[in-house]
Amino acid sequence: GLDFAILMVTNVVEGSSRLLFTDEVPMLDVLPYRRLSDGTRRAKGVVSRKKQLLPLVLGALEG
């Protein structure tokens, strides 16, 4: 199975989030969020885990 966690830190003023992953999950490389030099990913326009992030993550994992 897959063992990982994602922390989403949201800036509601900017209307974007940063994603921090506990491990590299190659299946999630298809996510449309740019990887930054510090290893996080910038999710521009994403402010809802349930409505915006989770459907994409589940879709990527289900292939």
Buried b (16+ CB within 10 A) or exposed e, 21-50: beeebeebeebebeeeeeebbebeebbeee
> Has residue 5 got a pLDDT over 90?
yes
Task: Please give the Cα distance from 14 to 11 (Å, whole number).
Answer: 5
20-57: pLDDT as tens digits:
999 988 999 999 999 999 999 999 999 999 999 999 99
In DSSP terms, which residues pair with 25 in a beta bridge?
none
Q: Spell out the residues 6+ positions from residue 54 whose beta carbon is closer than 8 angstroms to its own.
A: none
pLDDT band of residue 2 (cuts 50, 70, 90) is: confident
